[in-house]
Structure formats: structure tokens, C-alpha cells
Structure 1
Amino acid sequence: MITEPRPPLLRRLPAGVWVAAFWTAIVVFRFFTRDSELSHLFDYNGNTEDMPLVVTAVVTTLVAFLLVRLPLAAVAAALAGGVYSLGMWTVPATAPLQFLIAEVVVAYCVVTRSRLVSTIAVSMPLAVLTTLYAWGAVNGYPVNPYAYLGLAATVLIAWLIGNTVRQSRAHADALRGRAAEQAVTAERLRIARELHDMVAHSIGIIAIQAGMGSRVMDTQPAETRNALNAIEATSRETLAGLRRMLGALRQGEGESAPLEVAPGLGELDRLVERTAGAGVRVALTRRGDARTLPPEVDLAAYRIVQEAVTNVVKHSGTRDCHVTIAYEDRELGVTVVDLGAGAATGAPGTGYGLAGMRERVALLHGEFSAGPRPEGGFRVAARLPIPEEAALEVGL
């Protein structure tokens, strides 16, 4: 079992410890810079300026200790400090300061706690204000209703700020969740494309070989044997590819499995050989200086050729097709032309093959076209831009 390393000691200390150390340092500094005794710090008669300092230190330390585990108790501690500070007439700003500390805790509760806890947190300072106003009015103390209304308004402002932050976090979480769902969907589509391109080609070859073998079984046993050998080899290769792909997917569950090596234009010779075994001769032409391409461009080009050749095998009814790979300065050209029936290959936009090719090219911001040729047959053409970084690596 792997154990996580413990954080440094200073990071394990609660926030209240740091606040207490801060205020202790200030109180000690004040004591050594005055000529009086330490008892003046706790003079509640309003004759010293240090008493509000002690009250603020105690309140903020309690709030820091209670904030995370008991936020409502932190609100109560700040309000208690505010009520206690009302007796310090010479420093009238002390009580509002404690009240503002309580409002900060209220905003924290609204952001991080449930609706019930946040509602109780907001109600506590409003209840204290109402009680103080009623007590002052009953006992004949001068009370300013506008001051109490102003403090109540600051409580509502604290709630609004906290609620806004809470909604912003919820919105950000929703966006992240939607982005994660879109990423999962995109990955599923990518896997579906890979499976389609790999399986469709292999099944097409197997179907052609099986049909040819069944036709010559009685008259040409040697050709039947060759067809069966081709079916066996293609089936094994397809199963191996599926096993690698599924193994790579299971790695997310903690299982070790080899990752599938993505094919590229270097595999075209094997593709031509397999296609020839299905009875279709592929003439492969390379123009320009062949070089290493970015993986996404290399894979897309191979899959386009594979799918186009598969369509020739399955639909065109011809025995020949021509594949051209053109290496240019800033892009790669891929063209597959056959002299078959043309329309039998499928009109542009129908089926998953052409749609998959078009989608691959679009993801790379390239150009794609597919359709019957005026002189007969069918033509698939794609131009894939090579990223500038990859072009610079080869000195273009």
C-alpha cells in the first residue's frame, strides 16, 4: 500500500495557531514598548487603547480555530466580541470591527456550507442587531435606526458576495463536467474510427478471399489454400490489433497491457501486399522527399489510404487502383484513384468510411474531396497541412 508523504510541520499547523502567534507577538511588543504593567491591557473601563487590541486578538484567534470545523461557533465568537466591545466607549470602532469579522465568516459559510448552515449564519447577526436595538429602545439608550439598518445591509451584502462566489464555483464545476463529457465523447469517437478503419479493411479482405476460395475450391485447390492462408493471416493480424487496443483501454483500470503502435505511411507496403492478396493491385507512387511526419498526420494519411483501398476492394469492381503520396513543403497530399464503377463506391457523405475520412482531415484543418471522376472511376483526395514546428525540424 502506497502512503502519501506527510506535509511539512508548518503546513500541518492550524490557521488559529498562526493567528495566535501573530497577536501574541504584537501584545508582547506593546508590553515592552510601554512603561506600565501588563494589567493595563485588560482594562475594560475605556481608559486604555490596548484593550480593543486584546479583544480583536482573542476574537480573530477563536474565529481562526473554529472556522473550518465549527463555522457557526466562529460567527457566535465574532458577535460575542462585538457585544463585549460595546462597553469600550472611548474606542467606538471596535464593535463594528468585530461585527465585520462575523460578516466575513457569514460569507464563508454561504460559499462552503449547506443552505441550512448558511441561513443560520446569516440569521445570527441579524438577530443580534434586532436584540440590541430592542434592548436599547426599551432601556432608554439612544439608538440610531439608520446605523442598525446599515449594519443589517452589510450582512445582506456579505450573503450576496458569498452566494455569488458559490454560484460561480457551481458554474465552473458544471463547465468542467461538460468539458470532461465532451472529452469522453471525443475519445469514444476516436476509438470508433480506429476500430472501423482497422476492422472494415480486414473484413473486406477476408470476405473477398473467402468468396474467391469458395468459387475455386473444386477446380483450383492451390488457390483455395492461398485464400485460406490469407484469411488466417488477416484474421490474426486483426485480432492482434484489437487485443492491443483493448489492452490499452484497460490500462485505465490499473492493468498492464501493451499500447497499440499506431500505423503510418511506413505500413503502406504491407497494405499493398494484403490488398493484392484480395485481387486488387495497388500502384503506390511517392513524390517528393519522404520524411518523418507528425504522428497525427502520419496516422490520418494511412487511415485515408486504407479506407479508400477498402472501398475499392468492396465496391468498385475493378482490379486496379493508384495511390499517390506527395510530400510537399508545408503539406502532405494523398490521392487514391480507381477505374471502377464509381457510383458503387458511395456518394460523398454516405456511410461511415467517407465520413470518417472527412472528419480526420477536418480535425487536422486540411482539405478533403471524394467523388466519381468524369472519365470514370472514383477519386479520393486529401491535403493535410504539416505543422510549422514539424516543418522547421527538417529545415523547410
Structure 2
Amino acid sequence: MTEMLRRWCGGRPRRVDVAVALACFLVAAPVTAATAYHRDASVPAYLLLLLASCLPLLVRSRWPVPVAAATVLVGVVELVLIPFTPAPHPDAFGISLFAVGVALYAVATRTDRRTAWRTGCCAAGALTLTALVVRSGLEELPQNLGLIAWPCLSVAIGDAVRSRRELLASVVERAERAERTREEEARRRVTEERMRIARELHDVVAHHITLVNAQAGVAHHLMRTDPEHAYQALERIRDTSRAALDELRATVGLLRHSGDRAAPREPAPGLAGLDDLLDAFRHSGLDVALERAGEPDGLPPITDLTAYRIIQEALTNTHKHAGPTTARVRLDFAPGLLRLTVEDDGPAAGGPQGAGDGTGHGMIGMHERARAVGGTLTAGPRPRRGFRVHAALPLPGGRRPGCRP
């Protein structure tokens, strides 16, 4: 029966109000009829008074305070009419108390605490004052003052239910917010890892493919006129391809599970391998000079990798856009700061035209790498000719560099 009533209501306030009003009447009707019969009073009159107190409950969800006022008014009318009924009983009042309690409970659950208690106190005051006037005398005083308890008890129960609902709602909201925050954090970390792997793949592929392309061009040009040098170029293509495969294998290994024994364990490249990197560019026709100032003091692995990748990408862009030209790499190790500069003299006569606008994926990756370690990077054409990339990377014990070098 309860399940059928719950399905019929279906969370609709109007149906719930009808069900509550009907339940209130059906529960109180037998008691009211028995009381009237026991007191030799009119049973229909008592039931009609009960019906009048339950009818306002049909709209208790929409207007809880007016409904409470209406039920209290019925109770006041009942108190006034008791002395004029046949064979009045000293404790005859009580027909509308059940409806008053239900109405005040609705006020407490659907309004704020101050409104609920104001309404409850007004109801208790109105009923008590009416009873004191109608039923005067010291022998009736305890019963009259007892009318204060029923409205206050209804408000207290409703206020406790409302507070518990608000507490549960806040707990659910916090749980949902925590779940959303956890999902957003997971998505952010996945995006950062994806971008990091994309940068590594771009740097490895762009660098080695550029070198292989240049060395293949040299081998093709010298194959007939100078087979010995062409053979050396093919050897460098083999070595470069092997290095590219090794780095690709190491990068793809980042996608494997940490417990997968098949994942490669090659060390990440760093400035220790800078000479080999520059030799590879020199073999491809790029004249690269290296200058060092100072000595590194506790270079973190992430900064070491970042500096290597920036130099690698800058020289790859030089070779791609300027062709065989002259480039310079300068490393300046200052206290708490590493400054590195890569600049070239631009394309030679008849060489590739332009060095790009500095907005490709490689340039974006260099900026992202510099920001990831707390540094800055600037890149752009030199005043007369060529292109310049400058990065300032903080070292342990140093301050974060400014926006410009």
C-alpha cells in the first residue's frame, strides 16, 4: 500500500498534499467519531470540523504559512464553539490539533528557521490565549498551557528534518564537487603528459629526419663523383637513423606501464651529449660553433633536458629554413641561472628563403619547455640577418628570471 501511494505521488507536490490531507483525515476520523460518541456529541459535526481543519492541507506545499494560519483559525473557532455545544466536555478541544501539527511541520520544512519558529509561537499563543479566555479557571490552567507544547513540538520536529536534509544535501554537493575536481585534475594531468610526449616526439622526429634528409642529399650528390664521401654520408644516415629509433623507443616507452619490463630504460639526453649533437649538424652541412662561459653547478635533470631540446630544435629550424649556414651556440652558467643562445646568419645566397614566423609546433614546444622549468624564452629575427633564440633557465638557488632576457 505504501509503495503504491509512493508511485502515485511520483514526487509531485500536489499529489503529495492530497495524500497528506487524506491521510490526516482518515487517521483522525475514527478517533474523532469515537470521542463524539463517548461525549454524546454530534458525530457529523465533529467530522465536519475535522474536515474543515484538513482541507487547507491540500495546498500546504504552495502556501505553508497561510495554511498553518487557516488550521489555527479552525482550532480557535473550535475552542469558541465548545461552550455552546450540547454537553460540553472540559477537554473537548483536540479535533484540529492534528491538522495544526501537520501544517506547522510543513512550515518548518519549507521555510527558514526564523519563519518557522515565529509561526509556531504565534499559533501557540493564539490557541493558548483563546483557551484561557474560553476556559477560565485555575482548574483548567494546566490543560490550557499544555496547548503550547503541540505547536512547538511540531515546529521542532520539522526544523530537525529540514536541518538534516540540508546537511545531507551539503554532503552530497561536496562529494560531487570533489568528484568533479578529481576528474578535472586527472584530465589536466593526462593533457600535460600528452603534451610532454608530443614535444619529445616532435623534437626527435624533426631533428633526425632533418639530418637524414640532408645527409641523403649529400650522398645522392656525391654518389657518382666521390663514392668515398657518399659512403661516409650513408654511414651517418645509418647512425642517425639508429639514434632516432633509440630515442623513439625511449619516448614511446613513456606510454607503457611502469611495471612493464619491456619498457626501455635509456637515459634522457642532456648537455653531456651536446658535442655529439653539434657534430651531427656539422656533418649535415651546418657550421656550428660552441661557446661556454662558467661551469654548471648542480644542473637538475629536467633543466638539462630542456636546454638540450631547445638547442636541438633551434638548430633543426636553422638547418630547415636557412640551409647550410653558420650558427653559434652559447652557454652562460651564472649563479642560479643558465642562459643559452642559438643564433644563425640566415640563408646563404640562393638558399632557402625565410626562417618562418616562429609560430610552428617546434617553437611552441620550446616556449612550453622553458615555462615548465620556470624559465623564459624569446625568439625572433636578428636586426640585420638571421634568427636568434635566447632562453633563461633558473638553476637551484637562483630567482625566477624576468619576462625578457
TM-score (norm 2): 0.60
Is it true that 1:166 corresponds to 2:172 in the alignment? yes
In 1, distance between residues paired with 2:25 and 2:251?
70
Which AA in structure 2 matches 1:344?
Answer: G
Partner Cα separation in structure 2 for residue 157 and residue 292 of structure 1: 59
For residue 230 of structure 1, what is the amino acid of its counterpart? R
Q: Which residue of 2 aligns with 1:243?
A: 249
Deviations 1:228-283 (A, max 9, x none): 11111111111111112223321257454233421111110110111111111211
Q: SS of the counterpart of 1:345?
A: coil
Alignment of 1:42-81 (within 5 A): none
Cα separation, 1, equivalents of 2:331 and 2:366 = 16
Contact 2:216 2:234 in 1 (8 A): yes
User: CA–CA distance in 1 between the matches of 2:24 and 2:328?
Assistant: 89
Match of 1:370 among 348, 367, 379: 379
Asked if the contact 1:264/1:299 (under 8 Å) is kept, the reply is: yes
Partner of 1:310: 316
- The equivalent of 1:186 in structure 2 is 192
Larger Rg over CA atoms: 2
Match runs of 1:36-115 below 5 Å = none
- CA distance in 2 between counterparts of 1:257 and 1:226 reads 33
List alignment gaps of at least 5 residues for structure 1: 1-115, 117-125, 392-396
Code of the aligned partner of 1:216: L
> 1:345 maps to which residue?
355
User: Hey, what's the Cα distance between the residues in 1 that align with 2:27 and 2:240?
Assistant: 89
1:345 offset after TM fit, Å? 1.9
Shift of residue 327, structure 1, vs aligned partner: 0.3
Say if 1:244 and 1:259, in contact at 8 Å, map to a contact too: yes
How do 1:1-396 and structure 2 match up within 5 A? 134=28, 138=32, 144-252=150-258, 254-341=260-347, 344-348=354-358, 350-388=359-397
Q: How far has the Cα of 1:155 moved from its partner?
A: 1.1
The alignment's C-alpha RMSD in Å is 3.3
CA distance in structure 1 between the aligned counterparts of 2:31 and 2:322, rounded to whole angstroms:
97
2:26, 2:334 → 1: CA distance? 83
Find the aligned partners of 1:295 and 1:137 in 2 and give their Cα distance: 85
Q: Structure 1 residues 216, 168: CA separation in 2 closer, same or farther (over 3 Å shift)?
A: same
Shift of 1:132: 13
Which string of whole-angstrom CA distances, capped at 9 and with x for unpartnered residues, describes residues 176-225 of structure 1?
A: 10110011001000000011111110000000011111112111111211
Could you say if the C-alpha distance between residues 215 and 240 of structure 1 is closer, same or farther in structure 2, counting changes exceeding 3 Å?
Answer: same
Hey, what's the Cα distance between the residues in 2 that align with 1:147 and 1:256?
A: 71
Match of 2:47 in 1: none
- Deviations 1:66-100, CA, capped at 9 Å, x for gaps: xxxxxxxxxxxxxxxxxxxxxxxxxxxxxxxxxxx
Q: Is the 8 A contact 1:335 1:380 kept in 2?
A: yes
Amino acid of the residue matched to residue 164 of structure 2?
A
Amino acid at match of 1:200: A
Aligned to 1:33: none
- The normalised TM-score by structure 1 is 0.61
Gaps spanning 5+ residues in structure 2: where? 1-9, 11-19, 36-91, 98-149, 401-405
Identity %: 39
Where 2:315 maps in the other structure, the secondary structure is helix
Aligned counterparts of 1:183 and 1:272: Cα–Cα separation in 2: 34
Q: Deviations over 1:141-170 (max 9, x none)?
A: 966134123302311221111011101110
Q: How far apart are the structure 2 equivalents of 1:390 and 1:240?
A: 36
Deviations 1:102-152 (A, max 9, x none): xxxxxxxxxxxxxx9xxxxxxxxx99x979995997467966134123302
In the aligned structure 1, how far is the partner of 2:198 from the partner of 2:25?
Answer: 68
- How many residues are aligned here? 269
Q: Is the 8 A contact 1:320 1:339 kept in 2?
A: yes
